[in-house]
Structure 1
Amino acid sequence: MLRSIRLSAALSACALCLASWSIETDHSTKDTHGLFEIREEAGRFISHENAKGHQQWDVLEPNMKTLVPRCAVPLETPWTPKSYRHSKLSVIVICTVAVPNIVMRRWDVHVPVERKPNQTGSTAPF
């Protein structure tokens, strides 16, 4: 009985912890690059694209399961090439040199975008 109560309490605590975690709270640390900063970089790219005036886009959230090492150089952010065959339009945030670690030397994270409401025309920006 006591074991069952402990398990229930532990599961409740885990659920509360996970419910409070979001992109807004996932900031970079000395070891990892946060999804908040990755989304912000994608947002800067999209703001620049929107300023061109052809089409207007909103940045969505990257996959919440993504975990990447901290980037040692400035991030690069182009449109995701069509050759990647993604089902949805996205930008790709690229780190060409990660801080030294045993997992990966470089990484890229796809951040989906969607057309702002009331926009017409082609779905692809390129």
Structure 2
Amino acid sequence: MLRSILVAATLPACILCLTAWSIETDRSTDDKQGLFEIRQEARRFIAQENVSEHEQWNVLEPNAKVLVPRCAVPLQAQWTPKSLGRSKPSVMVVCPAAVPNAVMKRWDVPVPVRQKLTSN
């Protein structure tokens, strides 16, 4: 019974924490790379592609479950190779050298994109 009361009392606080989180507030720290900066790099890449290729792409949100170490060098972006088997287009944000950590030396995060609808 006490456990039920405790869960019922803490559940609203947990929901408030989750609703307060957004990619806008998920910034890089000394240890982790923020999804905000990952999305920004994808947006930078797509802005260049839209101009140079006369395309119209929108960057969507990266997977909120992604957690990667901070990148020690500037992030890079490229189209995700079709050979990786993704069914929809995406931009791969790449960190060629993460800050020293026990998990990974480099990483890449796919960020989905969608073509803008054009009205004629």
Tell me whether the two structures share a fold, i.e. TM-score over 0.5: yes
Amino acid of the structure 2 residue aligned with 1:96:
P
SS of 1:43 mapped into structure 2? helix
The equivalent of 2:92 in structure 1 is 92
Between 1:72-81 and 1:110-119, the stretch displaced more is 110-119
Unaligned runs of 5+ in 2: none
TM (norm. structure 1) is: 0.89
Separation of aligned partners in 1, 2:54 and 2:93:
22
- 1:92-115: CA deviation from partner (whole Å, max 9, x where unpaired): 000011001111111000001000
Separation of aligned partners in 1, 2:30 and 2:94:
18
Separation of aligned partners in 1, 2:40 and 2:101:
24
TM (norm. structure 2) is: 0.94
What RMSD, in angstroms, separates the aligned Cα atoms of the two structures? 1.5
Amino acid of the structure 1 residue aligned with 2:91:
V
Structure 1 position 7, deviation (Å): 1.5
Separation of aligned partners in 2, 1:70 and 1:24:
17
The equivalent of 1:48 in structure 2 is 48
Identity of counterpart residues, as a percentage?
65
Is residue 59 from structure 1 mapped to residue 62 from structure 2 by the alignment? Answer: no
- 1:21-71: CA deviation from partner (whole Å, max 9, x where unpaired): 111111101100000000000000000011125211000001010000000
Structure 1 position 2, deviation (Å): 4.2
- List 4+ stretches of structure 1 deviating above 3 A: none
Amino acid of the structure 2 residue aligned with 1:44:
R
Separation of aligned partners in 2, 1:40 and 1:117:
22
Separation of aligned partners in 1, 2:36 and 2:7:
32
Output aligned runs, 1:2-41, within 5 Å.
Answer: 2-41=2-41
Structure 1 position 118, deviation (Å): 1.3
Unaligned runs of 5+ in 1: 120-126
